[in-house]
Structures are given as C-alpha cells and as structure tokens.
C-alpha cells in the first residue's frame, strides 16, 4: 500500500504503473478526485478505483461508463465494505 498526500504527488511519482486499485477522496485541495481519475485514466484506463465523499450529491457527476471499474462510498462507511469493494474490483480486473 502506498499513501500520497495529494493527487499531484501521485501523478508526479513513478508509482502509477504499480497501482492495482486507486482509493481517493473526491473533495481534495488542489485537484479533486474527478480530475485525478480523469488524468489517471490517460495512462491507466480501467484502473480499479474507489471514490470516497462526504457529499453524496457529488456522486451524480460520475458517468455510467465508469461503473465497471469504479465503486463509490459516502462517509461514514464501514471498513469491511471498503475492503470487500477492493477485493471485488481486483477480481473483476483479473478476468
């Protein structure tokens, strides 16, 4: 597991090719999760991703085309459900 303080820090790193599942908040300073997802998809289209937000209405901005490799959570959420979503996304990405 790698932790980055911002989307910019992730994109500036050499780690993107090594990531199996991206977990990011939607509302971050500097670059929101939607912009990060858009930029990540340039190099890693279909990367399993989990978006987290404290504002459920923000999830309306997601396109249905992204649904196959994307899960979303609204804060607060149960950690067990997050882990199950990671497992599900990783399993789907291997098929």
CATH class, domain 7-93, is alpha beta
Q: Residue 63 has what pLDDT?
A: 66
Q: Residue 64 has what pLDDT?
A: 59
How many CB atoms within 10 Å of residue 48?
A: 23
The full set of domain ranges for the chain reads: 7-93
* Mean pLDDT, all residues of the chain: 90
Q: Residue 51 has what pLDDT?
A: 94
Beta strands in 1-95 (DSSP E): 22-25, 49-53, 70-74
| b (16+ CB within 10 A) / e for 72-85 | bbeeeeeeeeeeeb
DSSP 55: -
Cα torsion angle, 55, 86, 8, 44, sign:
negative
Q: Residue 89 has what pLDDT?
A: 95
Contact 40, 20 (CB under 8 A): no
Query: Average pLDDT for consecutive 10-residue bins of the chain (95 residues)?
Result: 92 94 93 92 93 89 70 95 96 88
Q: Residue 67 has what pLDDT?
A: 65
Cis peptide before 76 (omega within 30 of 0): yes
Prediction pTM value: 0.89
Q: Residue 61 has what pLDDT?
A: 77
Q: Residue 65 has what pLDDT?
A: 54
């Amino acid at each position: 597991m790698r932790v980055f303080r911002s989307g910019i820090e992730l994109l500036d790193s050499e780690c993107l090719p090594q990531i199996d599942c991206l977990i990011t908040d939607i509302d971050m300073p500097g670059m929101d999760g939607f912009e990060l997802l858009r930029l990540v998809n340039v190099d890693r289209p279909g990367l399993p991703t989990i978006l987290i937000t404290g504002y459920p209405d923000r999830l309306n901005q997601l396109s249905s085309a992204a649904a196959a490799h994307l899960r979303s959570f609204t804060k607060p959420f149960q950690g067990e459900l997050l882990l199950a979503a990671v497992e599900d996304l990783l399993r789907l990405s291997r098929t």
